[in-house]
Amino acid sequence: MKNLAYALGFREKQFANDDDKYLSLKMGALQGLSTNIMMADKDYNIVYVNEAIIEFLRALEGDIKKDFPAFNVDRLIGTNIDMFHKNPSHQRGMLDRMSGEFDTSIKVGGIVFNLHAFPVFDDNKNRVGTVVEWQDSKQMDGVSQIESIHKSMAVIEFNMDGSIITANKNFLDTVGYSLDEVKGHHHRMFMEPSEAESAEYRKFWDDLRAGQYQSSEYKRVGKGGREIWIQASYNPVFDLNGRPFKVVKFATDVTKQVIAKQNAGKMIESAAVGTEELSASVKEITESMTKSRATTEKAYGIVDQADQQTNKLADAAASMGGIVELINSIAGQINLLALNATIESARAGEAGKGFAVVANEVKNLAAQAKTATDKISLEINSMRDISSSVVSSLNAIKESIETVREYVNSTASAVEEQSAVANEIASNMQRVTREVNSMV
């Protein structure tokens, strides 16, 4: 603004006495500015205000009159700037000492005004006046916020029929188009054809035309059919009569996040399927281990019964051995009697021959009985040895089966625990999958 004042020649002459033939041109240039310009002479009397500051102060006239009831925006020319200050001497002191650009603020009627002032000098370095630019701090905050939004967010504006008015660089970078490629086109250019023709899409714009705010995560189509996801809000803007006249959309590109969530969902779903398969496998193993445990218990019972029967057989063999010994003892006694009978028959001579024959037959029978009992005794001893070996083997088998049974029981218990854990994991994975899918 200072350079503009210099360029217009205000450093050369006082404003009130400027007879430059280009004065009207200079004033016209200032009138066309959108900034709020006020000029004062060296005595701080207002000598010029442009249209922008007139409209600016007129809109705030009611607030200014709260502190300065005599204020009248139509009578600014010729009044002194002291009218804006409760302590004019303080402000004059600062302005008198001003040698360059100066920023300050004043509060009038509850409104904080930011003032940007700079002195104007003639060719002899004499102070001839002051130029002041006025700004409403709230408006400046709003402008700063809008600038910040445009720097950080994708912004696009639509007419109420959905046609595109303009878009900022962030939005154009997101969709991959230039402004010329989108301006004047309908919003549906960013939609899938099927969605653009849907009743939901028509209702979407009907609601916006009714002034209803829309916000969500949306799938859109960029240049070349590229899939885009945005977190966006569609904001109807109302005119002074309360009617919406355009829609401003603020958006953030969340494509990477959505794709990451989709991929995570797929991986979790795959993991959930794997967990379910693991759970099914563990269930099958559990059933097999249960059957193995039952079979082991049955085998243990059979071996135990065989062990008991073998022990009975050993006991029977032992009893038979006692009987054989008794028979051997009797055969020995018979053999002794036969020997005695033979001796007695020899003494009897001819009369004892018949008795001797009988005694000899008895002796032969006793010898045969002894031979038979000896053989039986050998068989019984062999049977007792075999029974003892079988008993030892059965005991070893029994011990092995007992060990296997303990292992099977332990494994079955562990598998049952793992089955419970696997089922819980599968349930949790299914829940996580549902939650992730609901986020996408």
Indicate the residue type of 87.
N
pTM for this entry: 0.43
CATH architecture label of 259-439: Orthogonal Bundle (1.10)
Please give the share of the chain, as a percent, with pLDDT higher than 70. Answer: 78
Dist. CA 281–CA 287, nearest whole Å: 10
Tens-place pLDDT, residues 329-354: 776 777 777 677 777 777 777 766 67
Task: Give whole-number Cα distances, 309 to 303, 319, 376, 391, 392, in Å.
Answer: 10, 15, 22, 9, 13
Per-residue pLDDT for 44 more than 60?
A: yes
Residues 6+ apart with CB under 8 A from 30: 8, 37, 48, 50
The pLDDT mean for the chain works out to: 78
Distance CA(416)–CA(410), nearest Å, equals 10
For the chain, the structural domain boundaries read 2-136, 153-253, 259-439
**3-state DSSP call for residue 235?**
strand
Beta bridge mates, 107: 112
Task: Specify the DSSP class assigned to residue 48.
Answer: E
pLDDT for the residue numbered 25: 42
Token look-up 């040895």 returns 385
- CATH architecture label of 2-136: 2-Layer Sandwich (3.30)
Domains 153-253 and 259-439 share a fold: no
More confident residue, 75 or 429: 75
191, two tokens: 């939609």
Give me the pLDDT at residue 254, please.
93
pLDDT digits (tens, 9 = 90+) for 266-297: 777 776 677 777 667 767 777 777 777 788 77
- Identify whether the C-beta of residue 101 lies closer than 8 Å to the C-beta of residue 117: yes
Rounded to whole angstroms, the Cα distance separating 108 from 404 reads 96
Mean pLDDT is highest, among 100-109, 112-121, 182-191, for 182-191
* Residue 28 confidence class, pLDDT cut points 50, 70, 90: very low
**Domain spanning 153-253: CATH 3.30.450.20:** yes
